[in-house]
Structure 1
Amino acid sequence: EWYTLMQEREIPIKYPYNPKTGGAHDGFVAIDPGGYLLEFEIFKQHPENERFIAALDGAPKIPAGAQELSFFASITWTYHKDMLKMQQFYQEVLGFTLVADQGWTKIYQTTPYSYIGLVDECRGMEDYAESKAVELEWSLENTEALDRYASENWGPYKYREYALFGPENYRYVLSSSD
């Protein structure tokens, strides 16, 4: 339905929808007016998706406001040179759970229905870039506890004024939900 809507609205498509039997996922990539790539993907029952499908179990449909179409979750894809370093950062520093390992991509759950997908720049649609077009932000209930935790545990990473500067020039903003 999403692909049909994009075609009806003449939205540019970078990679068309071409479903395949037996694969882990099917999808297509559209180009938004700002030039950003928007990937619409269906994750199918497949060994690499077992944890991801379980994480999505019971997820409510998120209305998109277009012809009663909806999403179940969103993934923000980021591109990396050193996947092992980034995996360690996401798991050991940020404490996120790996929910899908596609080999050259790793998907981490960051909120109940939001995910970050780490992509090996050698295989992804984009290359690693020193200058980042994306800033990742999470709202927290207790920023005082975060300050204490950060000062005790995030020694090798720069943390100041509710922003953590991780590997590969990514900036993570941690704001108060108050």
Structure 2
Amino acid sequence: MKRPESANELTVTFFYYRDLPKAMRFYEDVLGLTLAIDQGWTKIYRICLGGHVGLVDETKGMNKWTADKPVQLCIRVSNVDDWYAYAQARKLKNLSELFANDEIGIRAFVFNDPEGYQIEIQSAIRPGT
């Protein structure tokens, strides 16, 4: 049997939270994301065309909250320096230094959301990276 050939419509990466309202405030107020789909105990925010992050109340989701967060949400922006200045002003939790990775062609920094998920903000150093 062949894989269905219809086009994918969007992507959502789901994160599980103990305090969903607090997570919502962070993604709306700090990251400036827009709620795209409200499913009650799941809130799906648009990051960019086709890319979304879903915040889930861990008491109702398919998975549960865990202290270990072996996942990172990476958001590519046009000017990482502006975002870094903003992150410093907001005193975001576990904010790293701004760094360059010449091997993969990015400048970036990381910080944690309210329940420990790591978020990376990055810009390309050169076109195509």
TM-score by length of 2: 0.80
> Which of residues 148, 152, 160 is equivalent to 2:96?
160
* Partners of 1:100 and 1:69 in 2: CA distance: 22
Structure 1 runs of 4+ with >3 Å offset: none
Alignment of structure 1 residues 2-81 onto 2, 5 Å: 8=1, 66-81=3-18
- The one-letter code matched in structure 2 to 1:69 is S
Shift of 1:139: 1.4
1:149 aligns with 2:96: no
* Partners of 2:24 and 2:62 in 1: CA distance: 19
Structure 1: gaps of 5 or more residues: 1-7, 10-65
> Which of residues 109, 118, 121 is equivalent to 1:174?
121
1:97: which partner in 2? 34
Q: Which has the larger radius of gyration?
A: 1
TM-score by length of 1: 0.59
* Partners of 2:52 and 2:4 in 1: CA distance: 25
2:52: which partner in 1? 115
Structure 2: gaps of 5 or more residues: 98-108
CA RMSD of superposed structures (Å):
1.6
Alignment of structure 1 residues 116-135 onto 2, 5 Å: 116-135=53-72
2:92–2:112 contact (8 Å) kept in structure 1: no
1:158–1:166 contact (8 Å) kept in structure 2: no
- Percent of aligned pairs with the same residue? 33
Structure having the higher helix fraction is 1
1:139 aligns with 2:76: yes
